Amino acid sequence: MEVGFLGLGIMGKAMAANLLRHGFRVTVWNRTLSKCDELVAMGAAVGDTPASVVAKCKYTIAMLSDPSAALSVVFDKDGVLEQIGEGKGYVDMSTVDAATSCKISEAVKQKGGAFVEAPVSGSKKPAEDGQLVILAAGDKALYDDMVPAFDVLGKKSFFLGEMGNGAKMKLVVNMIMGSMMNAFSEGLCLADKSGLSPQTLLDVLDLGAIANPMFKMKGPSMLQGSYNPAFPLKHQQKDMRLALSLGDENAVSMPVAAASNEAFKKARSLGLGDLDFSAVHEVLKGTGGQAKA
């Protein structure tokens, strides 16, 4: 199967590499072109523009930072829309809001193409290992065509029906994750300040009902003040913002998420946006600015 891949950040690079390892023919494009080099060394071809990738490939996947990047790659000059059409499919796996997905979907359909939104749960390591959880919605025939690729990228794919449901599901999941990270960080601070060993707290948490992979993976590095980015904090704050907006639209009160969003915003204002989202711990510790990757 031949696929195009637009966006080779932390996630896109791992996902495209995984497709190559599984025998897919992949043509890549990234705004910063030098990021294509590693994939080329693995056998990928390069397209000059999103449009040229779509012209070459029947199916094109995108993994971009946020709604404005997702829209730009489709609608701007040399974008996806210039070459999408009958018989071609576009799959955006970025985390965006439902309105962005719907806007892209309408434009692609108007040109005769098919569109699926397919944001993912899981971070850098699951992307490398093909263990993502894929939250797809939109054109069912295109979804069915993409199953061989989704089977390589993920451990499970959900087809959630109408366009926008994938984006909404992803935002709900990440809203919970961001709130959990804040509660976890507060707990580590409380243990420390009240004379307990935060390491022992990690051991206790890991044996109880709230044990989870995120606490287990991020806890030890948070205690060291080390935040090598797997999921950049700026993207987690974007997801909290989009989830809160979904709450506004549906009149859902979300005080916990709103407070967590404030902590992520504070972290961004301290220059921690490119570190892992667990760097919000520096805000809750009150030591922002001393964090490292």
Ligand X SMILES: NC(=O)C1=CN([C@@H]2O[C@H](COP(=O)(O)OP(=O)(O)OC[C@H]3O[C@@H](n4cnc5c(N)ncnc54)[C@H](OP(=O)(O)O)[C@@H]3O)[C@@H](O)[C@H]2O)C=CC1
Residues tagged active-site: 170
Cβ-based neighbour number of residue 209 at 10 Å: 6
- Which of the residues 66 through 85 are near ligand SSN (CB under 6 A)? none
CA 121 to chain CA mean position, Å: 7
Helical spans, DSSP H, in 156-276? 165-193, 198-207, 213-223, 233-249, 255-269
123 near ligand SSN, rule: CB under 6 A: yes
How far apart are the C-alpha atoms of 139 and 73, rounded to whole Å?
20
Contacts of 293 (CB under 8 A, 6+ apart): 226, 227, 228, 229, 274, 275, 276
63 near ligand X, rule: CB under 6 A: yes
Among 105, 121, 185, 261, binds ligand SSN (CB under 6 A): 121
Closer to ligand SSN at the Cβ: 88 or 238? Answer: 238
179 near ligand SSN, rule: CB under 6 A: no
Closer to ligand SSN at the Cβ: 101 or 174? Answer: 174
How far apart are the C-alpha atoms of 168 and 248, rounded to whole Å?
13
Q: Mark 272-291 with x for binding to ligand X (rule: CB under 6 A) and - for no binding.
A: --------------------
Among 44, 230, 257, 283, binds ligand X (CB under 6 A): 230
The answer to whether 130 and 154 have CB atoms below 8 angstroms apart is yes
Which residue sits closest to ligand X, CB atoms considered?
A: 9
How far apart are the C-alpha atoms of 272 and 265, rounded to whole Å?
10
Among 159, 184, 215, 231, binds ligand SSN (CB under 6 A): 231
Q: Please count the residues of this chain forming the interface with ligand SSN, following the rule CB under 6 A.
A: 6
Which segment (120-128, 193-201, 218-226, 281-289) binds ligand SSN by CB under 6 A?
120-128
